[in-house]
Amino acid sequence: MSRIGKKPVPMPAGVSAATEGQTLTVKGPKGTLSMQMLEDISYDIQEGAISVQPGNDTKRARAFWGMHRTLVQNLVTGVTEGFTKTLEITGVGYRAAMQGKNLRLQLGYSHDVNIAVPAELSVATPDATTVVISGNDRQRVGQLAAEIRQWRKPEPYKGKGIKYRGEFIFRKEGKKK
């Protein structure tokens, strides 16, 4: 039995959910999000909560039960609070700046890296070494953060590169004489 799946997803005041065919739609103060429902999972929208249960006793239904409950929780959290990822840039001459709807990164390459920011996300650079990505869709926020980080992953000797805030970089000892 799924321990996560047993708990119903609470819906705060101002959040409503509806199903149309195989689509679950959640509306809240920060917008509207939707996801495709799985046939093996039953979604029960009650007053103030959404409960997710396996529709049948197959292995596939039990396997997806907890994950789909978490996906529904991400929808509710996204339309109420939103999600934020913060990236930190470490290295001499490494900088980030917003230019219109593009994020411009200087990462030690012979050229600047320009990344187009999707319309549903907002990217801010409070200083030259910090990038804050926020939006209501957790998957899109994480995907953009991963694409930015991929340009210069942190290396283990000096720690230079782009890392998530709070991420631990295992440091190695350098050469010995």
Quick one: pLDDT at residue 5? 85
Mind listing the domains of the chain with CATH numbers? 3-80 (3.90.930.12), 83-164 (3.90.930.12)
Give me the pLDDT at residue 176, please. Answer: 86
Average pLDDT over the chain reads 93
User: pLDDT-based confidence at 177, cuts 50/70/90?
Assistant: confident
pTM over 0.85: yes
Question: Mean of the pLDDT values across residues 139-146?
Answer: 96
What would the DSSP string read from start to end of 70-125?
A: HHHHHHHHHHHT-EEEEEEEESTT-EEEEETTEEEEE-SSSS-EEEEPPTT-EEE-
- Helix H or strand E encompassing 61: helix 59-80
